[in-house]
Amino acid sequence: MGEAIGQLLPFAVGVAVSPMPIVAVVLMLVTRRARTNGPAFLVGWIAGIAILGAILLAIAGPASASDDGRPAAWVDWLKLVLGLLLLLVAARQWRGRPHEGDEAATPKWMGALDAFTPAKALGGGVVLGTVNPKNLLLIVGGAAAVAQTGVSTGDQVIAWAVFTLIASLGVGAPVVIFFALGDRAAKLLDELKTWLARNNTAIMAVLCLIIAVKLVGDAITGFSS
Q: Model pTM?
A: 0.83
Q: How many CA atoms lie within 13 A of 91 on its CB side?
A: 7
Summarised one tens digit per residue, pLDDT across range 48-81 is 999 999 999 888 765 555 445 555 667 778 888 8
* CA–CA distance, 116 with 118 (Å, rounded to integer): 7
CB atoms within 10 A of CB 160: 26
Identify whether the C-beta of residue 149 lies closer than 8 Å to the C-beta of residue 3: yes
Identify whether the C-beta of residue 189 lies closer than 8 Å to the C-beta of residue 59: no
Q: What is the 3-state secondary structure (H, E, C) of 75-144?
A: HHHHHHHHHHHHHHHHHHHHHCCCCCCCCCCCCHHHHHHHHCCHHHHHHHHHHHHHHCHHHHHHHHHHHH
Question: Which uninterrupted H or E stretch holds 173?
Answer: helix 169-181
**Below-70 pLDDT ranges, the chain:** 1, 61-73, 98-109, 225
